[in-house]
Amino acid sequence: MVFDPKLFKYSWAKKIIPICVISGLGYIDFACFYSLGYQEIYKYHSHGVAISLWVILAWCEICVIVYWILLLIEGPGRSPRVRPFNLYNSEDTSDLTPVPDYFFCDESGYPYWCSQCQSIKLPRTLHLKDKNFCVLKFDHYCVWVGTVIGQKNYKYFLKFVIWFLMFFIVALIYLLRYTKLNYYRGTQDIDHNYIVLYILSGFWILILLALLIVHLHYVVYNMTTVDDININKLKRYLRWKAHNDKTKKKDVRGTPGEETGIRYINVRYNNTRVIVQYTVRDTPFTFGFKRNWQNLWLNNNRTNGDFVEHESSYSPKRLAISFFLFFFPYVDMIYPSKEKKIVRDVEKSTAESLYSSRLIEYEQYNEKISKNFVEYISNKIKKKEFHIPHYLPSFQENNDEGSTPDGL
């Protein structure tokens, strides 16, 4: 859940809610295990049912704690430092990276730059001030668990949500079954802990269920929370703009943040570079449900690496394995996912090979774009809907060349 008020710019403030969650979980354990499990079910109904409640809740809670710890230990994923691209074909390449076939850029054609990290920004990265590094595939800061959710710990976040949700569903089922019996057992009243348990269970089930549904939607389309926020900001801005155009009045009080939704990609074409405009609605990283789902569970939430290069990686068998990893706890901790090749294996004995290795490392972290998006970009180039980067001379059209961007 995204919740980022000004209070949470202080590190001490970010620890408050996780501590409150742990304290609340301690009280819920007391209400479930003692008040409901022992005082009601074990003493007046069935020892076996009480034991089943304790075992199931304990299992769910252990899963919650384990995945919470994994979220913190694994971390969101740190982006490597990428040296500036050699946009001007400089002969001195000691601190430069070869220009890739494509990269996301501003309107002038320059790549995004992180001044804190002194690095090219990879797609969907965001600088984390607390840790002083850029987070790969930044999703959101979760105040409930007290950490940032990114590329590396996203699947653990989903498992955390699932088992936290299961905990409260199980507690609510047993509570509904025995509340009436507790009421009519001569006292004409119910244990007050049950009332609190109803409130907490109802609250958390609604929150966690909504959170799970939203993030499963993100997985299906390979989106992040930031992507969704940008799309919704665009929708609000367009509605506001259409309303003002219709009424001819400026609604200053309800002015949303301006979000045109326009983005740019710099691609190699006809031995030069061109800039193509697209919008946040074009979702360049969406590969379809099957590939997006398997990339999360079998490729460490990445769209690059050897895994995506082979069609056999997306077989029905592997799809079944990915669902198995989703539904069953702890298996995802031991099942071998495809990892990046270590760039140290690349020969770096000469300046030229060192220069080339930087591009190899960049490509290992750079997110691949989908075939549909490549086709979309190619069609725009075919229609001459592009412009030349400011750092290059005017484009000379070569009619003998095709319209497909080079290397995509």
Q: What are the catalytic residues?
A: 142
Bridge-based pairing of strands 119-120 and 113-114 is antiparallel
Q: In angstroms, rounded to a whole number, what is the distance separating the alpha carbons of residues 274 and 107?
A: 11
User: Residue 388 burial by CB count (10 A; 0-12/13-18/19+): exposed, middle or buried?
Assistant: middle
Residue 37: name the closest of 22, 21, 49 by CA.
Answer: 49
Q: In angstroms, rounded to a whole number, what is the distance separating the alpha carbons of residues 260 and 231?
A: 10
Residue 340: name the closest of 300, 294, 368 by CA.
Answer: 300
Q: In angstroms, rounded to a whole number, what is the distance separating the alpha carbons of residues 241 and 157?
A: 37
Name the maximum alpha-carbon separation found in the chain. 92
Q: In angstroms, rounded to a whole number, what is the distance separating the alpha carbons of residues 340 and 342?
A: 6
Sign of CA dihedral 387, 389, 390, 392: negative
CA 258 to chain centre: 24
Q: In angstroms, rounded to a whole number, what is the distance separating the alpha carbons of residues 139 and 75?
A: 12
Q: How far is CA 291 from CA 288, 294, 312, 340, in A?
A: 6, 5, 11, 18
Q: In angstroms, rounded to a whole number, what is the distance separating the alpha carbons of residues 36 and 194?
A: 8
DSSP conformation letters of 172-241: HHHHHHHHHHHHTTTTSS--HHHHHHHHHHHHHHHHHHHHHHHHHHHHHHT--HHHHHHHHHHHHHHHHH
Per DSSP, the three-state class of 405 is coil
Angle at 88 between CA 82 and CA 91, to 5 degrees: 85
Q: In angstroms, rounded to a whole number, what is the distance separating the alpha carbons of residues 398 and 406?
A: 14
Residue 84: name the closest of 73, 75, 93 by CA.
Answer: 93
